[in-house]
Amino acid sequence: MTDSKSKFAAGPLAGLRVLDMSTMLAGPYGATLMGDLGADVIKIESHYGDESRHLGPMRGDQRGPYLSLNRSKRDLVLDLQQEEAQKVFAKIAATTDVLVTNIREPALSKLGLSYEQVKAHKPDIIWVRVTAFGADGPYDGRPGIDFLAQGYTGVLTLNGEPTGGPVRTGFPAVDVMTSLLVANAAMAALRVRDQTGEGQRIEVSLLDALMHAQASSIGTYLATGDRPVRTGNRSLYFAPSGVYPTKDGKHVVITTPGEKFFGKVCRALETDWDTDPRFHDINARLANEDELDRVVGERTSQYTRDELVEKLIAADVLTAPINEVEDVIQDPQILHNKMIVSTQHPELGELKVTGIPVRFYGTPCEVRKHPPMQGEHTRELLAELGYSTAEIDDLIARGLAADRVELLRLKEERKAKKKAQQG
């Protein structure tokens, strides 16, 4: 390995430091991706912690949403509402390349996290903030989440069955897309800094991310005036395209973007639909889509899901099983792509998380750190900043910082107080 490559043995972002000052999903998951790519990501939390630590199913004393989103990081607890804790933050900010936040004003400035405030500690900082609707404008300052962005951008109108009501996506698609933009924007800004020596402020919003994602729907309307409509599992442009039943009560996807694919479906299912006047070309099929779906469904119902998928794949048909969650985590391609990987958690043992969605051949990446427990690395990080053991003890004793031991002590103290009040 050459010297230049050895520097990046831990990934293409090795040597860079990222501060994750965000909560929930879009910001933290963007920081996670940078950690997966090799950056030293430090999650700074209050004593209360990331909101995702308080939501969803539990494993041990950790919450599923937090565990699923925050690998590849170290964790430091600081109470930034106290002025003396700001001095600690100034030290770590001075060592940082990228800061990610999603805190709204006025809390942002009260915590010393605005761009200008952080820039005073690190003049070339790359500062990335996630908002719901934008950094300014008529919706500036409003709270917002994924669901609201889907409403404003019309995704709720376009998702669902034609005769049904609006339906949101079954996973936080907007947050995930925004997290990718967070990481992408930060890396683009780092390239500029490499050339100019200057950092910059970056704003990313859920609203803009989802508008960007709708080039094929809203974009087509802008270009042609043709209003997109809700189609359920069907396509606006070709048929058959949908979800079809199997005899074991499961379903498969079959779609045919082109005449050759419809012919392949016919051959695989041993039919002559492509010679039937009702179905012989795309216009006829779209005009008779209800009948087409009926006959396709009758034929697919003669096979189990696995039999049908095997048969269709052998005929080069565009198809997929409708996998249950239990099927997904055993899918051979997903496992081959290392999109489910294991990491060792110090208290929970083996913990499986989703993998890294990009593959680098020159500077391979991997999930190297478990999702950190709150305050797990407080002492380690403060020591790296030059604080002595006695000074760290003092910071924790005064409530300016906290490690896991202290947080657990405080938790037990609150429990005892509550019990005494109730008794």
The CA distance from 250 to 244, in Å, is 9
From first to last of the 423 residues of the chain, give the pLDDT tens digit: 455 667 898 899 999 999 999 999 999 999 999 999 999 999 999 999 999 999 999 999 999 999 999 999 999 999 999 999 999 999 999 999 999 999 999 999 999 999 999 999 999 999 999 999 999 999 999 999 999 999 999 999 999 999 989 999 888 999 999 999 999 999 999 999 999 999 999 999 999 999 999 998 999 999 999 998 889 999 989 999 999 999 999 999 999 998 999 999 999 999 999 999 999 999 999 999 999 999 999 999 999 999 999 999 999 999 999 999 999 999 999 999 999 999 999 999 999 999 999 999 999 999 999 999 999 999 999 999 999 999 999 999 999 999 999 999 999 999 999 888 887
pTM of the full structure = 0.93
Q: Please give the Cα distance from 396 to 324 (Å, whole number).
A: 46
- 140-146 contacts, C-beta under 8 A, 24 or more apart: 141/104, 141/105, 143/104, 144/206, 144/207, 145/24, 145/175, 145/206, 146/25, 146/172, 146/173, 146/174, 146/175, 146/206
Are residues 103 and 135 in contact, defined by beta-carbon separation less than 8 angstroms? no
User: In angstroms, how far is CA 177 from the centroid of its own chain?
Assistant: 7
Q: Can you list the alpha helix ranges (DSSP code H) found in 159-287?
A: 173-196, 206-213, 218-224, 259-268, 282-287
- Catalytic site residue from 36, 75, 97, 175: 175
Q: Which residues contact 421 (CB under 8 A, 6 or more apart)?
A: none
- Let me know: does 206 contact 26? Beta carbons within 8 Å: yes
Is 175 a known active-site residue? yes
Q: What is the DSSP letter of 273?
A: G
Fold classification of 3-214+336-412 is Rossmann fold (3.40.50)
* Tokens 């990481």 -> residue: 183
Q: What CATH superfamily is the domain 241-245+251-321?
A: formyl-coa transferase, domain 3 (3.30.1540.10)
Residue boundaries of the structural domains of the chain: 3-214+336-412, 241-245+251-321
Q: Copy the structure tokens of residue 202.
A: 């970056």
